[in-house]
A and B are shown apart, each in its own frame.
Chain A
Amino acid sequence: MEAFGLLLHGFAVLLTWKTLVLMMVGLVLGIFVGVLPGLGGPNGVAILLPLTFTMDPTSAIVMLSCIYWGALFGGAITSILFNIPGEAWSVATTFDGYPMAQQGRAAEALTAAFTSSFIGSLVAVLLITFLAPMISSFALKFGPPEFFAVYLLTFCSFVGLGREAKHKTVISMSLGLLLAGVGMDTVSGQLRMTFGSSELLRGINFLVAVIGLFGISEILLTMEERLALRGHAASISLRVVLSVWKDLPKYWVTLLRSSFIGCWLGITPGGAIAASFMGYNLAKRFAKDPESFGKGRIEGVFAPETAAHASGTSALLPMLALGIPGSGTAAILLGGLMVWGLNPGPLLFVEHKDFVWGLIASMYLGNVVGLVLVLTTVPIFASILRVPFAAVAPMIVVSCAIGAYAIQNAMFDIWLMLGFGVVGYVFKKIGIPLAPFTLALVLGNRAEDAFRLSMIGSGGDLKVFWSNGLVGSIATLAIVLLFWPLIDALLGRLALTGRTKAASG
């Protein structure tokens, strides 16, 4: 088994004191940002990314992915203890997790959350381990038309699947695409939308935008809400952990279903948020007594957590193999890869074996270490919430500014961050989704370049997007997804008429 040998090699790369220490540091930092209101996974990774610029890529990615795991675990802590989802995908966890905590079953809920996160990620990592080598040779087949088709698929899935009002998704995405185009156009070598400003020459860095949109705006929002937090301190005894684990086999269908949903949504860019809700909804739909959900049912914690983590993890696969991030955090890690001089894409698996398998091995190790760490330190992290917000808020502001400045050493970026903070605050309040904006800002330029390179290559013939089976099926899928709500409605009506006919007949 080639993958197995490579994985062992990956572990060998990791098992040095330096890497293990970095791993622990990353996990602790991650849990810290996950628990802090106003930070969280993507933001934490974005803010701490510049710290790793001077490290070698393997150490850097190990630390960042551990920050990521830590943040995922941390998000579950606040969702369950305080009903504050640290992340959008933790929202579904609060539905049953918080009631459990109120009934004095906090320890049980936390154990369930951590264990199911672990299971979800493990399934996804297994998938990555065995699919990655195949993906890399498959990925060489990707030329400009194929890349464009995939970008199109990503954009269409956002428009088609999002829950927000369609026109708001379109506003968010087109604004992101426009801002992505600011600066120099690679294909023609011409400047555009810079209005003669040399600050705009370098374009709008998406990390700066993300720090503002999420970090700064979240503080404004948190400040506006009533800050009365009530929660239950929890310590986890071995007995509770074991009793939850003993019951695990009973829920294997839920766990498996959620893992599957998560992996699928992670690889086809749909995101962890959709996965967690879908996992929860399906568990509820298939349960014998759906009414008991939302009142403190342990399955209501298992289902969304497993799905969210499976998708968060498997989102790294398309990022590594194709250079297409499946989630917000993966998008930030993608930016990191490029900073370290690693070109995510087909050759990454060939040219940087150490890095790729080191990363995959770190997913296994990071998960195990994270699970142990988090089970033992819950009370400490929960106490962060007792630090007055008046002290935490300015520190977050300073961290955001440092993060924004360090990316390009530009004062202008701090102002840009502030501007995006206000934009994020207003957009969140009037329901314009930020995810499509971020996605568009990351992928906009690449999608456009891929499209125009395809056109140059084909002499301006649009048929190039249906020129072979690979690109044709992706492009068709994209169109189907774009019109999915319509198709879904049509199918629904057909089924309905079918059923009424059957009933009447």
Chain B
Amino acid sequence: MSQTDLEIVVDDPTAPEENSPSVTSSGTVEIIVCLLLLALAAILGYDNWRTGASWDSTGPEPGYFPFYLSIILGGSSVYGLIAALIARRGAADTFVTRAQARRVMAVFVPTLLFCLVTQFLGLYVASFLLIAGFMRAVGKIALWKSLLTAFLFTAIMFVTFDIAFDVIMPKGPLEAAFGY
């Protein structure tokens, strides 16, 4: 099968080192998540109890199911908490290493900024900035390539959504200047 001899190798030069120290263990994260869920369950449970969580003549009140679900959620969180605390004494799995965390942040922070910019300058400007910036800063791709790709992608999106399909995206001062 001569056709399959050609090999594609996609190597990632910025891959995280394998021996990077652990930031936190899965057990710790599980404990935090369980605590957060427990807090959420308490808040929602209280709100539903206030709405009315009893069973009147025509069946359950609006808060009935959510109230008991909050209790179930709270209960299973407590169970999870205990399970995680017990398991923690054993071997701790790494939740994320420092190198991994850095890379995850490298995506998460730009995404967060993208949402912020969308709020104020509209989606298309934000999209252009995100793609160009990400390609340049994280991917170390040539500036002109980054700018061109970002512009083309954003333009295609604009034509597809705002013009062809009348799906109106959030827009800001730049689009307003062009009359959109």
Contact = CB atoms under 8 A, between A and B. Distances in A.
B31 to A, nearest CB: 10
For the complex of A and B, 5 pairs with smallest distance between CB atoms: A390-B139, A455-B59, A227-B12, A229-B10, A185-B62
Interface in A220-268: 220, 223-224, 226-235, 237, 240
Contact of B12 (A228, A383, A414): A228
A395 B167 contact: no
Contacts of A394: 110, 114, 130-131, 134-135
Interface string B129-168: 0110011001111000000010001100100110001111
A193 interface: yes
Interface stretch (A121-129, A175-183, A317-325, A330-338): A175-183
Contacts of B3: 107, 233-235, 237
B26 A429 contact: yes
Given A174-B72, A460-B58, A233 B123 contact: no
A188 B153 CA distance: 47
B161 A406 contact: yes
Interface stretch (A163-171, A278-286, A295-303, A365-373): A163-171
A389 B59 contact: no
Interface of B: 1, 3-12, 15-16, 18, 26, 29-30, 33, 37, 40, 44, 47-48, 51, 55, 57-63, 65-66, 69-70, 72-73, 76-77, 79-80, 83, 95-96, 100, 103-104, 106-108, 110-112, 114-115, 118-119, 123, 127, 130-131, 134-135, 138-141, 149, 153-154, 157, 160-161, 165-170
A455 B48 CA distance: 20
Contacts of B65: 177, 181, 448, 451
Given A167-B83, A235-B3, A414-B115, A223 B123 contact: no
A210 interface: no
Given A397-B114, A398-B153, A415-B115, 16 more contacts: A54-B165, A106-B4, A171-B76, A175-B40, A175-B73, A178-B70, A228-B12, A228-B15, A229-B12, A230-B9, A390-B135, A393-B134, A394-B131, A397-B130, A401-B118, A401-B127
B141 A223 contact: no
Category for how many chain A residues contact B? 35 or more
Nearest to B66: A181
Interface of A is mostly: helix
A70 interface: no
A384 B154 CA distance: 19
B157 A401 contact: no
B59 A456 contact: yes
Contacts of A185: 62
A504 interface: no
A386 B70 CA distance: 47
B73 A192 contact: no
Interface in A348-399: 382-383, 385-386, 388-391, 393-395, 397-398
B61 A228 contact: no
A192 B66 contact: yes
A279 to B, nearest CB: 26
A228 B73 CA distance: 39
A168 B100 contact: no
15 contacts: A229-B11, A230-B10, A232-B8, A234-B3, A235-B4, A385-B10, A395-B131, A402-B157, A411-B119, A411-B170, A418-B115, A427-B33, A452-B60, A454-B59, A460-B55
Contact of B134 (A170, A390, A432): A390
Given A181-B66, A192-B63, A426-B33, A411 B7 contact: no
Contacts of A50: 167
B73 A171 contact: yes
Contacts of A405: 123, 169-170
Given A192-B51, A406-B167, A414-B118, A224 B100 contact: yes
Contact of B62 (A54, A106, A187, A390): A187
Contact of B8 (A171, A227, A233, A235): A233
A402 B111 contact: no
Contact of B80 (A168, A223, A231, A421): A168
B1 A107 contact: yes
A51 B165 CA distance: 7
Contact of A227 (B15, B55, B140): B15
A174 B118 contact: no
Contact of A234 (B4, B16, B62, B127): B4
A104 interface: yes
Contacts of B62: 185, 187-188, 190, 192
Nearest to B1: A104
A459 B51 CA distance: 22
Contacts of B103: 223-224
Nearest to B119: A411
Contact of A390 (B57, B80, B138): B138
B111 A216 contact: yes
A101 B8 CA distance: 12
Interface in A150-174: 165, 167-168, 170-171, 174
